[in-house]
Every structure is written in C-alpha cells, then in structure tokens.
Amino acid sequence: MVSFATEKKQDLNLLSRIAAGDGHGENSSYFDGWKAYEENPFHPIDRPDGVIQMGLAENQLCGDLMRKWVLKHPEASICTSEGVNQFSDIAIFQDYHGLPKFRQAVAKFMEKTRNNKVKFDPDRIVMSGGATGAHETVAFCLANPGDGFLVPTPYYPGFDRDLRWRTGVNLVPVTCHSSDGFKITVEALEAAYENARKSNIPVKGLLVTNPSNPLGTTLDRECLKSLVNFTNDKGIHLIADEIYAATTFGQSEFISVAEVIEEIEDCNRDLIHIVYSLSKDMGLPGLRVGIVYSYNDRVVQIARKMSSFGLVSSQTQHLIAKMLSDEDFVDEFIRESKLRLAARHAEITTGLDGLGIGWLKAKAGLFLWMDLRNLLKTATFDSETELWRVIVHQVKLNVSPGGSFHCHEPGWFRVCFANMDHKTMETALERIRVFTSQLEEETKPMAATTMMAKKKKKCWQSNLRLSFSDTRRFDDGFFSPHSPVPPSPLVRAQT
C-alpha cells in the first residue's frame, strides 16, 4: 500500500521545480505573523481580543482625502454615468506602453515627490503590477540564474520572493550595524562583494531601499554618491527602491538617486534604475501600480515587453492619470500625509519612550524599528523568535522580528503604525504597557537578587528581561483579570 507521503511526493514530481518547491519564502515568521492576524483579526466591537495588525506597511491615514476626491470626480471612472462615455476608448485593448496620459502623470508625480529637483521622462516609465512585479522585471533584465545582488541588511523580507523565487537570482547580504544606525558603508559593500566572489556568485548589482524598509531612515547625499561610485567602479547595476519617497516628515529629507547622478561626472547612467509605486506614498496598494524607471534604453525596451505579464489595467491608468493631474489635490495630499505621519509617529514613540523601550531614530516610512534586545533571555535568534511568539499570540500584536529582515543582531522588531486608526493605536500601546509592567512585577525578586550580588551594576533593563525557562508566566495567569489583553490558548512561549 502506497503511503500518503509517497503519494504526495509522486504528485510533486509531476510539477515544475518552482511549483514543487518552497522558494516563495512564505516559511518565515514575517508571514506567520500575518497568518496569526488573519485567524483572529482585531475589531474594537466584534473581536476586541483579536490580533492587531502591526506588520502591514500601509498608509491609511489619508483615506478620507482619497474618498473625498473620488466623490468629487466621478468622471475619473468609466463605470459612472459621468465617465461612461469614455468606456469604449479605455476598455478596449491597450498595448504594454500604457496610456500616454498615465505615464505623463506618473512622471510628474515622481518629480513632485522629489521636490521638483529632477525631471523624469514619461517615455522611460514602464508599468508593472506593483513594486513586486517591478522588482522581478528588473531582476530578469539584469541578472541570470545564479547571479547575485548585494542587499544591505536589514531588508524587506519580500525581496526573497520578488527577486529570487522565479528568477533564480541570489541575494548577498551587506551587513550593517546598529552601532552606527545601520548605515551602508563602502567597507561593508566591499566585504560582501568579496564574499560573493569567494562563493562563485557573479555580482550584477546593488539594491538599496531609500527610505529604508524596515529602518525608516534616509540615505544622505554623500552616501548615495558613494553607492553610485562603488557600483560604477565595479561595473554593476544600482537599483534604487524609492517607493517610500513621499513618506518623510519633520526635518527628514529624501534625496533621490536621480538627483545625485546629476552631480557625478562621467556617471554611467546605463547602470542606474529606479523602482517606484503608488502603494505607499498614495496609500493605493490594491491598485497595483508599480513603476520601473531605467536610464538604460535596452532595459526600458525589454522591461516594457515583459510588462505584458503584469500590466496595470487601463481603467486604473485612467483613474490615476486624472487624480495625479489634479495638482491642487496632489499638493494637499502630500502635505497632509506628512503631517499625519509625523503626528502618528510622535504618538507611538512617545508611548514607547514612556515605557523605556528604544527605537531607531528615523523619520520616514510607515513604521519604526523597535529595540527589544534587553527583553531577550540570550542574544540569540531563538530567543528573539520566542519573544516574538509571546508578542503575537499572547500580547496579540503582529510585529515583525528582525531576523525575518535578515538583521544580524537579534532583538529588533519592525512596528507599522500608519495602517490603523487612533483608537486602535491606543489599544496597541496599552497592550505593550500591560505586557512590560507585568514582566517588571514578576521579575522584581530576580532583579533584587541580582542587585544584591552586583551592587554596582545598573539593572533596570534586567527587570524587564524575560525568563523563558519559567513558562508559567505565559499561562492563563500571566495577565491580570482586568487586562485588555486576554491570554491566548493558541500558542505558549515555546520553541
């Protein structure tokens, strides 16, 4: 009799290596947190004990402005009485170049989000199904299976899917350190390049995210120049992911690689490429508007042909062209978005500061990089995973652990703050407060003993250190009867 496992293996043998394999990268704590949320999503009335989604980098703070514009401009949709006269022109077959008015509007918007310091040629705008499709298209254009891209750490976990899964390309980590704010240095780039060479991985390019996901930092002018010079000297490509260009706030400044190359003499622009989308800056991830902008003519030509596999619908192009051509609306949206991001960032960081929880100083993006290294039992990724499981399944906050972002230092977590309303943010901060206060109360005896043994040592951080050997603290009695965070029966704090 053939076993189930044997039958399953035989079934997989009928499929391609991609279909039978697990190269998607979904077997990660980053995606596991999403699954926990989907099984028990928070709702203030229907499911107040559910998991709050803090793992989704989405800008929902200006949805009211979007709705207001759509109601004011029904002609922007071909499915309304005001816009139906254009139905036949828009709904018929459109080639992969995209609607001219769409490419012109996107180019203009890209200029505006870069403070009008650079110009973008609409004829170099290549559309794709979101930044995911754009990244894969660039990878297909620049590298062969087995080639590699250098990627500074920590980096977005989705890159393992976007750039590797179907292309066969390798991602070579460039190790950055918290001691200098995870800055990208030429020394780190050289070390990663040499490691790739020793591993027989031909390096075809360097991929940087600016502003950074997950750090929320921006690259300054000198750093960007060093990256351009490094890639030019090596004869490799520089891919700049700039999908968070308009999410800076406060005194933070975004500088595009498009601006920097204007200042570098003899720059080989054939090696410069930008990935952009409207998912983050405009809060429109569902519309799947991704952009490849390349200074390389051949890449533009081939990427445009490849876009046939992931075009933006003509109806969406029509809507976006109308919206982005409304300069008064765009100006108001960008200005208001920055103000609301700044206010939300201040709200969450003030809350964390009050609890003695650290975070990387940065003012861009839809998230922050939270430092919980002092809550780990040991400085290992096993301890990080254990703490993450407690936070997701007991505290019921889906935050993303640094290990899933390929951070080489355990204890960092990405926390998204722009995808919820004010009340939900308050609930999330209250859950964190209850969690840390309970830990502090339960570890006071341990802290007292430590103080007696080492009187000169400052141990306020140790008071919050988790003792994972005592799993009773995560049993039903861990949270007080009045806690807004009921204990979950799903998962204990065990590996």
DSSP 254-296: ---HHHHGGGSTT--GGGEEEEEESTTTSS-GGG-EEEEEES-
Residues 322, 316: Cα–Cα separation, whole Å: 10
pLDDT attached to residue 469: 39
For the range 389-393, what are the long-range contacts, defined as Cβ-Cβ under 8 Å and sequence gap of 24 or more?
Answer: 389/491, 389/493, 389/494, 390/466, 390/474, 390/493, 391/435, 392/32, 392/33, 392/36, 392/51, 392/491, 393/36, 393/488, 393/490, 393/491
CB 119 within 8 A of CB 111: yes
* All residues at 6 or more sequence positions from 295 whose CB lies less than 8 Å from its CB, including other chains: 124, 261, 269, 270, 272, 273
* 150 backbone φψ class: left, alpha, beta (φ>0; ψ -120 to 50): beta
**What value does the mean pLDDT take over residues 216-225?**
97
The answer to whether 116 touches 335, Cβ cutoff 8 Å, is: no
Percent of the chain with pLDDT over 90: 75
Residue 484 has pLDDT above 70, yes or no: no
Tell me: pLDDT of 486 over 90: no
Instruction: Choose the catalytic residue: 243, 261, 320, 334.
Output: 243
Residue 365's nearest CA partner among 260, 241, 194 is: 241
The pLDDT of residue 495 is above 50: no
pLDDT value for 10: 60
Question: Token pair for residue 89?
Answer: 């022109």
Q: How many degrees, rounded to 5, is the angle at CA 408 between CA 202 and CA 358?
A: 140
Residue with the bigger pLDDT between 242 and 474: it is: 242
pLDDT recorded at residue 445: 60
pLDDT in tens, 234-293: 999 999 999 999 999 988 899 999 999 999 999 999 999 999 999 999 999 999 999 999
Q: What mean pLDDT is predicted for residues 164-187? A: 96
What are residue 50's phi and psi, to 5 degrees? -75, 175
**The tokens of 115 are what?**
């403070």
Determine the Cα–Cα distance for residues 325 and 341; give it in Å rounded to an integer.
Answer: 24
pTM of the model: 0.87
The share of the chain scoring above pLDDT 70, in percent, equals 87
Tokens of 425: 């943010």
Residue 171 has pLDDT above 70, yes or no: yes
Q: Confidence band (pLDDT; 50, 70, 90) for 150?
A: very high
Of 225, 280, 338, 363, catalytic: 280
Q: Catalytic pick from 32, 162, 241, 281?
A: 241
Three-state SS across 393-456? Answer: HHHCEECEEHHHHCCCCCCEEEEECCCCCHHHHHHHHHHHHHHHHHHHHHCHHHHHHHHHHCCC
* Catalytic site includes residue 239: no
Which one of the listed residues 37, 155, 156, 193 is annotated catalytic?
Answer: 156
Name the residue with higher pLDDT: 34 or 336. 336
Q: What is the pLDDT confidence band of residue 466, given thresholds at 50, 70 and 90?
A: very low
pLDDT, position 456: 42
In this structure, what are the phi and psi dihedrals at residue 119, rounded to the nearest 5 degrees? -115, 145
pLDDT given for residue 4 in this prediction: 55
What pLDDT is attached to residue 81? 87
241 catalytic residue (yes or no): yes
Averaged confidence pLDDT in the chain:
88
CA 8 to chain centre: 35
User: Higher confidence at residue 135 or residue 4?
Assistant: 135
Query: Is the pLDDT at 95 greater than 90, yes or no?
Result: no
CA distances from 223 to 156, 256, 368 (A): 20, 11, 21
How far apart are the C-alpha atoms of 339 and 74, rounded to whole Å?
28
Would you say residue 454 has pLDDT above 80?
A: no
Token pair of 219 as six digits: 């690259």
Active site annotation includes 348 = no
Residue appearing with tokens 């990663």: 192
Pick 7 or 219 by higher pLDDT: 219
Query: CA-to-CA distance for 149 and 75, rounded, in angstroms?
Result: 44
Report DSSP state, residue 41: B
30 part of the active site: no
Give the per-residue pLDDT at 487: 35
pLDDT band at 463 (very low <50, low <70, confident <90, very high): very low
